[in-house]
Amino acid sequence: MNTKHPILYSFRRCPYAIRARLAIAGSELAVELREVVLKEKPSAMLEISPKGTVPVLHLAEGRVIDESRDIMRWAVRQNDPHNWLCSDSPDLLWQIEGLIQENDFVFKQHLDRYKYFERHPNHPQHYYREQCEVTLVKLERLLQAHSFLVGEHCSLADMAIFPFIRQFAHVDRDWFYAASYPALQRWLKHHLESPLFTVVMHKFTPWKEGDTPLLFPDKSL
């Protein structure tokens, strides 16, 4: 690996890739970004991660991290300027991990069926939305109690879950913003309008072998 920076293979709209970029930018780290076209996955990425999903982080010493939540943990363990790990409240780490686990292994499954309900004809779309709402109700209660998911400042749970709530909202925006989730809507709006989100959602040209390395985050933005 002929670079001093870790290499991040990413795809702009993927919620898993979004949260990896959020963690890297929020941790004030620098990586070489390689934007991927999913229909034309680069061989360099497939060689280090044959499963072919983004994000993939190739560290300078050769280690490969190809799960987004593990990339997030790697980033904040390098540097955590915003205290997303809530180091002053160790007990909150268990709550953070629990929320991320529910998002990744329960909510996301229902979200995929809600978004692509035509592929899952056993139930109508509203059934899958109702399954998603089990998690939404939990998040609403937490956000009614405090500004962010585990307290009054943003944590790794907020960064890990926000991209998936954004994806859920985009399936039927009229329904979501008319639903009885005022705290969740406020929280989502906060993240959508944050400077950090603006940075991580910048459109980059897809990477090709031989391109000049592109550092992320781009300090000129």
Closest-CA residue to 215 (of 16, 35, 22, 13): 35
Residues in the chain: 221
Residues 111 and 146 in one domain: yes
pLDDT at 2 over 60: no
Q: What is the pLDDT of residue 4?
A: 86
Q: What is the pLDDT of residue 90?
A: 87
Q: How confident is the model at residue 157 (pLDDT cuts 50, 70, 90)?
A: very high
Residues 63 and 119 in one domain: no
Residue 91 corresponds to which tokens in the numbers above?
A: 């007990």
Q: Average pLDDT in the 117-134 region? A: 97
Alpha-carbon distance 107 to 111, whole Å? Answer: 6
Residues 58 and 96 in one domain: no
Q: What is the pLDDT of residue 218?
A: 82
Helix (H, G, I), strand (E, B) or coil at 71: helix
The partner residues of 10 in beta bridges, in order of sequence, read 35
Domain that includes residue 104, residue range: 92-194
Contact (CB, 8 A) for 11 and 36: yes
Mean pLDDT of the chain: 96
CA distances from 44 to 10, 67, 85, 215 (A): 13, 17, 32, 18
Q: What is the pLDDT of residue 29?
A: 97
* pLDDT tens per residue, range 43-78: 999 999 999 999 999 999 999 999 999 999 999 999
* Torsion sign over Cα 109, 206, 156, 165: negative
Q: What is the pLDDT of residue 177?
A: 98
Around Cβ 218, how many Cβ atoms within 10 Å?
A: 12
Residues 67 and 160 in one domain: no
